[in-house]
């Protein structure tokens, strides 16, 4: 669900040359459960963001510091929302595939009553100046 951001008169929207040929794939869709291809840079930025958020550090060969490791962070004892938010922002800033987006807000809501966490990342694509968001919901069953 994207909404257009009002541009100032005279400002320009960038177009990635890969988007000019709709039949040319830009990258692979996430999650990798088959060979599904993204055909626009906007879709690929969205999937790259999901990839860096959900990847555990040490999971990617030859890049042991890649990823946030959100799954392992969220249900640790005494983890603070600000710590998780900072870790997400740092991982995004250090990923060269995500240099065409600007993080607007990261919201983390812990619900201790039902052992669930909601993470929402709002961002703006610098290519077309449209906003978008990723929302991830985790539930840890009570034991």
- When pLDDT is averaged across residues 102-123 and rounded to a whole number, the result is 87
Answer yes or no: are the C-beta atoms of 98 and 52 closer than 8 Å.
Answer: yes
Each residue's pLDDT tens digit, 47-81: 888 888 888 988 888 888 888 888 787 767 777 88
- When pLDDT is averaged across residues 101-116 and rounded to a whole number, the result is 86
Could you tell me the end-to-end alpha-carbon distance of the chain, in angstroms, rounded to an integer? Answer: 36
Q: Which residue from 54, 3, 8 is spatially nearest to 30, judged by alpha carbons?
A: 54
1 confidence band (pLDDT: 50, 70, 90): very low
**Phi/psi-derived region of residue 53, left when phi > 0, alpha when psi is between -120 and 50, beta in every other case:** alpha
Each residue's pLDDT tens digit, 82-104: 988 998 999 988 888 788 889 99
pTM higher than 0.75, yes or no?
no
The pLDDT, as a whole number, for residue 121 is 93
Answer yes or no: are the C-beta atoms of 122 and 142 closer than 8 Å.
Answer: no
The two tokens of residue 66 are 């890649």
The pLDDT, as a whole number, for residue 30 is 62
The pLDDT, as a whole number, for residue 60 is 84
């Amino acid at each position: 669900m994207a909404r257009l951001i009002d541009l100032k008169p005279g400002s320009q929207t960038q177009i990635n040359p890969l988007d000019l040929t709709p039949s040319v794939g830009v990258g692979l869709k996430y999650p990798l459960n088959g060979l599904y291809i993204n055909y626009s840079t906007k879709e690929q930025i969205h999937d790259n963001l999901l990839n860096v958020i959900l990847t555990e550090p040490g999971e990617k060969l030859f890049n042991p510091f890649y990823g946030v490791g959100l799954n392992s962070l969220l249900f640790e004892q005494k983890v603070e929302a600000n710590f998780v938010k900072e870790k997400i922002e740092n991982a995004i800033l250090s990923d060269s595939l995500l240099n065409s987006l600007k993080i607007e807000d990261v919201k983390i809501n812990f619900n201790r009553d039902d052992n669930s966490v909601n993470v929402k990342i709002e961002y703006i694509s610098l290519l077309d100046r449209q906003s978008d968001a990723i929302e991830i919901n985790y539930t840890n069953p009570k034991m």
